[in-house]
């Protein structure tokens, strides 16, 4: 057979729904002020870089991960204040945990439900695992639509409900009383995705203590270790034991685990960075509020969503001026002409605001 025939033969083996989609795109950022994917902009101080390097150099990379992964899990549980009767499992970032949950709950006809817009991986993972996904639109102000959420729960009886808290990309914390209603109405699991917890004024551990079907998912990415790829999931021991069955063996590398442990031993450094980013967020929000033609939305994350007259033109103008942000317009109809800006250092934020002002004029 001809080469092209063989390629077509190979392509025919892939799922039609997979072939109809696109891979997750990562924007090239070389030479740009990078404010597009909610990273912590701060590097470790030079002394800690040196000490981390020495420590990683001593790791036995010829061996599969073993006890140090368990040590990291225990350290994360202590850091998060894991309640009694609960357990923890680790993932290669939150993305892998979401895939694990989809696999573990992937019974025939199972449904995953989430407000929309929210983190895109909830839907992607559900669909790739053959689950039905139901997105419930947020209100115009990006708050939860309580009656719509409760009606969707009653109709679809979801096995998994994701509540991003604070929400990505909108940055807001939702009403606690309404979340309680959703949790009480849920026939399956409720996953509180707290990726942005270091920047928020509230968290879900008390909710987990009150409701045994609630899981709390967090990541070290926003803590300051996006390149290390460590996510963790906390819930009742019996639930985590089932999720852990689909966790790939050795999914957390020895270097990643050691870097995570090192970071937790210096948690005060990262706490100070988070405090600085919270202060910068408020300063940037005030500056955006004062800027004609810009509507920023309040945020409890390390990003701010804003609406402009022409997002594509503004995005291109800012990139031409050396600042990379996220054009969220295509992610959901309610995000038309919305841009999402990560909070950076004071210098990066000043450059971003100047580029935004120039791009709007």
């990006």: which residue's tokens?
Answer: 142
**HSE, side-chain direction, 13 A CA sphere, residue 261:** 19
- Residue 89's nearest CA partner among 108, 60, 69, 117 is 69
Residue 2: pLDDT over 80: no
Query: What's the rounded Cα separation, in Å, for the pair 248 and 103?
Result: 12
Residue 29: pLDDT over 70: yes
Could you tell me which CATH class the domain 60-265 is placed in?
alpha beta
Interval 219-236 mean pLDDT: 94
Query: What's the rounded Cα separation, in Å, for the pair 340 and 302?
Result: 10
Query: What's the rounded Cα separation, in Å, for the pair 49 and 332?
Result: 40
Query: What's the rounded Cα separation, in Å, for the pair 343 and 282?
Result: 10
For the chain, what are the domain ranges?
22-38+268-360, 60-265
The pLDDT tens digits of the residues spanning 262-312 come to 999 999 999 999 999 999 999 999 999 999 999 999 999 999 999 999 999
Interval 339-352 mean pLDDT: 98
- Confidence at residue 174, expressed as pLDDT on a 0 to 100 scale: 95
| Antiparallel, parallel or unpaired: β 323-324 and 33-34 | parallel
Confidence of residue 1 (pLDDT cuts 50, 70, 90): low
**309 or 361, which is more confident:** 309
Please state the length of the chain. 361
User: The domain 22-38+268-360: what is its CATH number?
Assistant: 3.90.1150.10
Mean pLDDT of the chain: 95
Q: What sign does the dihedral 342-346-351-353 (CA atoms) show?
A: positive
The pLDDT tens digits of the residues spanning 113-136 come to 999 999 999 999 999 999 999 999
**HSE, side-chain direction, 13 A CA sphere, residue 76:** 28
Q: Strand (E) positions, the chain?
A: 33-34, 86-91, 111-116, 132-137, 160-164, 189-193, 214-219, 231-236, 295-296, 303-307, 323-324, 326-327, 338-342
Are 331 and 120 in contact by the 8 Å Cβ rule? The answer is: yes
């Amino acid at each position: 057979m001809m080469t092209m025939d063989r390629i077509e033969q190979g392509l025919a083996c892939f799922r039609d729904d997979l072939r109809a989609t696109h891979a997750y795109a990562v924007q090239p950022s070389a030479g740009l002020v990078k404010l597009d994917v909610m990273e912590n902009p701060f590097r470790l101080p030079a002394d800690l870089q040196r000490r981390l390097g020495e420590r990683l150099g001593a790791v036995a990379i010829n061996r599969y991960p073993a006890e140090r992964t368990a040590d990291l899990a225990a350290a994360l549980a202590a850091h998060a204040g894991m309640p009694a009767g609960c357990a923890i499992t680790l993932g290669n970032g939150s993305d892998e945990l979401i895939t694990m949950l989809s696999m573990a709950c992937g019974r025939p006809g199972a449904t995953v439900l989430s407000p929309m817009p929210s983190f895109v991986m909830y839907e992607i993972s559900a669909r790739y695992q053959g689950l039905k996904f139901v997105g419930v639109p947020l209100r115009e102000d990006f708050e939860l639509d309580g009656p719509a959420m409760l009606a969707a729960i009653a109709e679809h009886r979801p096995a998994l409900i994701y509540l991003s808290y604070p929400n990505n990309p909108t940055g807001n914390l939702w009403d606690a009383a309404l979340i309680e209603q959703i949790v009480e109405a849920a026939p399956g699991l409720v996953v509180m995705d707290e990726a942005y917890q270091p920047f928020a004024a509230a968290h879900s551990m008390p909710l987990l203590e009150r409701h045994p079907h609630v899981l709390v998912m967090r990541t070290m990415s926003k803590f300051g270790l996006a390149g290390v790829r460590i996510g963790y999931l906390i819930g009742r021991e019996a639930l985590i034991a089932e999720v852990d069955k689909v966790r790939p063996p050795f999914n957390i590398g020895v270097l990643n685990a050691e870097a995570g442990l090192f970071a937790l031993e210096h948690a005060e450094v990262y706490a100070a960075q988070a405090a600085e980013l919270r202060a910068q967020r408020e300063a940037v929000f005030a500056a955006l509020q004062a800027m004609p033609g810009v509507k920023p939305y309040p945020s409890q994350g390390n990003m701010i969503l804003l609406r402009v007259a022409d997002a594509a033109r503004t995005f291109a103008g800012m990139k031409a001026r050396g600042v990379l942000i996220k054009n969220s317009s295509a992610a959901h109809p309610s995000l038309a002409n919305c841009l999402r800006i990560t909070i950076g250092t004071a210098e990066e934020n000043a450059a971003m605001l100047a580029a935004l002002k120039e791009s709007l004029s």
